[in-house]
Amino acid sequence: MEYTFYDFLKLLGSLALFLYGMKIMSEGLQKFAGDRLRNILTAMTTNRVTGVLTGMLITALIQSSSATTVMVVSFVNAGLLTLSQAIGVIMGANIGTTVTAWIISALGFKVDISAFSLPLLAIGIPLLFSQKSNYKSAGEFIFGFSFLFMGLNLLKENAPNLDQNPEMLAFVQNYTDMGYFSIILFVLIGTVLTMIVQASSATMAITLIMCANGWISFELGAALVLGENIGTTITANLAAITANTQARRAAVAHLMFNVFGVLWVLILFKPFIHFVDWLITDLMNINEAGGVAVSFKLSAFHTCFNVCNVLILIWFVNQMEKVVCKIVPQKEQEEEYRLQFITSGLLSTAELSLLQARKEINLFAERIQRMFRMVRDLLPMKNENEFNKLFSRIEKYENISDRMEVEIANYLTQVSEGRLSSESKIQIREMLREIAEIESIGDSCYNLARTINRKHRESTDFTPKQYEHIYQMFQLTDDALSQMIASVEDTHHAIDVNKSFNMENEINNYRSQLKSQNIIDINNKEYDYQMGIHYMDLIEECEKLGDYVVNVVEAHNDVKEKKA
């Protein structure tokens, strides 16, 4: 079988389609499914056991662990699953995929999801051109889903067709009598094979053919299956190339889980093989008949391996999460957009729930100040690429602030439904006021960035004097934000609200002064009218932002006064 450079290009093109599908699917999910799908997934993965069962169910239904892990990566990328939830689902997917091996062994049947790709595109196209944003997002998701599975199918088709030409692997007979080294070698061969053909079931088919023809023993077939468990993780890692840090961590967790399993099975290889052999030949009483017993032995080995691996590692999900976070550190330009202190599932006591919400609000305030400082950094930027990158990051922060407001508000509403003292109910009401005002600060920051973006597209620029005034206003606003954060984070001492009022008055006075000066400067032709509009838009927005800051401090102060 010849494999030309043209075939290699087709393989790369298939990979490109797969990655593009992953990106579009993830973006469509984020826009369309959002809170609804998150609520369903949160309910299905409330603890590690239900997470594993969810992964098993999904994989058993769609008969592809690769598809499940790719979807899990896209859910993590869209912020619909946490990393620990994803690890549980991936563990379940590893067990679920063994159902496929049993079906192949018994019936030789496998559902081909890619067959539905083109009909799905026909459904997706009217949605894509719809005026309603929800329909449009659903269309994007369908297109991404279709492209992803078309790409996955094309990857299999354009890879060297080893399962149709198993005689290509006949040379391995020369390496079957090297003892334990042969087992290690066949694990590596299984890994590489699965990475090439992009389908663990195809590797399983090759393994069955080789065992049935007597080229290799059951032990070496089992070693190939172990290798296939490592090789199958390549699909999720490919999908994570275009994804965010959390999604890459989920893909690495999949790899780590499978590699750990292979290592401990290799240490206990002989006893484990004897156990599977006893299970099939003695307990289930399946005797050799044209390779049937080998087929069932390999399926049993695959299932036992994954079930035992899950039973061992299910207790170490949190430790796995910590290790993966060290292996794949958070990039500076990326921001975690899930709540850190508020957890899903059962609520704790009212007092503890309010403490968690308070910590989350403090974090919310810190992120908003970070967003404002990004806006300040955006102003002098001239490099187009750097400007666009930072502006996109500010846009992302705007989405994060919207989401944080909704999630904290939902949590506080949930807490308020429980038995609470009148003081706690008032506290919740004021906390809801705080998050609404903090989110308004985020809106102001985004408005400032949009104004800077409009100015950036103009051929003219601010004068040095205008820059000086804008920076002075930005400094006053940043000081007000710092004072606000100090106020909301201090829950033990009385707040000096006057400090914030004084800062707000200073911002108001400076705004009025610059407004009057702006008219004089335009009349004196120091800059044109359009630059004057952009200039005053920035100044006015900072003044608005200062008002929101005072509102946050007042709301927080009301909470403390009523608690006292």
Tell me what pLDDT residue 346 has: 41
Q: Look at residue 200 and tell me if it is in a domain.
A: yes
Q: Look at residue 338 and tell me if it is in a domain.
A: no
Query: Is residue 264 located within the same domain as residue 388?
Result: no
DSSP 8-class letter at 461: -
Task: Convert the pLDDT of each residue in 458-473 to its tens digit.
Answer: 888 899 999 999 999 9
Tell me what pLDDT residue 172 has: 60
Helices (H), 180-244: 180-197, 200-212, 218-231, 233-239
**Contact (Cβ atoms closer than 8 angstroms) between residue 532 and residue 421:** no
Query: Is residue 312 located within the same domain as residue 390?
Result: no
Query: Is residue 34 located within the same domain as residue 75?
Result: yes
Tell me what pLDDT residue 291 has: 44
Q: Look at residue 345 and tell me if it is in a domain.
A: no
**Contact (Cβ atoms closer than 8 angstroms) between residue 217 and residue 189:** no
Name the residue range of residue 364's domain: 350-563
* Residues of the chain below pLDDT 50: 104, 107-110, 289-292, 344-348, 564
Query: Is residue 301 located within the same domain as residue 395?
Result: no
Q: How many domains does the chain have?
A: 2
Cα of 507 vs its chain's centroid, Å: 40
Query: Is residue 319 located within the same domain as residue 370?
Result: no
DSSP 8-class letter at 496: -
**Contact (Cβ atoms closer than 8 angstroms) between residue 371 and residue 401:** yes
DSSP string, 25-57: HHHHHHHHTHHHHHHHHHHHTSSHHHHHHHHHH
Query: Is residue 401 located within the same domain as residue 283?
Result: no
Burial 446-473 (b: 16+ CB within 10 A, else e): bbbbbbbeebbeeeeebeeebeebbeeb
Q: Which of 450, 410, 557, 402 is nearest to 493 (CA)?
A: 557
**Contact (Cβ atoms closer than 8 angstroms) between residue 210 and residue 169:** yes
Q: Look at residue 184 and tell me if it is in a domain.
A: yes
Tell me what pLDDT residue 105 has: 55
Query: Is residue 116 located within the same domain as residue 207?
Result: yes
Cα of 537 vs its chain's centroid, Å: 36
Q: Look at residue 494 and tell me if it is in a domain.
A: yes
SS3 category, 443: helix
Does the reported pTM lie above 0.85? no
Q: Look at residue 340 and tell me if it is in a domain.
A: no
Query: Is residue 314 located within the same domain as residue 359?
Result: no
- The two tokens of residue 56 are 């098993």
Query: Is residue 368 located within the same domain as residue 318?
Result: no
Tell me what pLDDT residue 489 has: 77
Residues 6 or more apart whose Cβ sits within 8 Å of residue 140: 24, 25, 27, 28, 31, 32, 128
Convert 491-549 into a string of H (helix), E (strand) and C (coil): CCCCCCHHHHHHHHHHHHHHHHHHHHHHHHHHHCCCCCHHHHHHHHHHHHHHHHHHHHH
**Left (φ > 0), alpha (ψ -120 to 50) or beta: where does 244 sit?**
beta
Tell me what pLDDT residue 155 has: 67
**Contact (Cβ atoms closer than 8 angstroms) between residue 168 and residue 1:** yes
Radius of gyration of the chain (CA): 30
Distance CA 421, CA 457 (A): 55
Query: Is residue 163 located within the same domain as residue 275?
Result: yes
- Specify the residue for token string 């026909």: 122
Q: What sign does the dihedral 430-435-438-444 (CA atoms) show?
A: negative
Task: Convert the pLDDT of each residue in 244-264 to its tens digit.
Answer: 677 788 888 888 888 888 888
Could you give the angle at which helices 5-32 and 34-44 cross, rounded to 10 degrees?
Answer: 100
- Cα angle: 342, vertex 345, 349; to 5 degrees: 65
Could you give the angle at which helices 48-62 and 83-106 cross, rounded to 10 degrees?
Answer: 40
Distance CA 174, CA 92 (A): 37
Tell me what pLDDT residue 38 has: 56
Query: Is residue 405 located within the same domain as residue 444?
Result: yes
Return mean pLDDT, the chain.
Answer: 78
Q: Which of 263, 108, 301 is nearest to 201 (CA)?
A: 108
Query: Is residue 247 located within the same domain as residue 297?
Result: yes
CB atoms within 10 A of CB 233: 27
Task: Convert the pLDDT of each residue in 448-505 to its tens digit.
Answer: 999 999 998 888 889 999 999 999 999 999 999 999 998 887 665 556 678 888 999 9
Tell me what pLDDT residue 66 has: 67
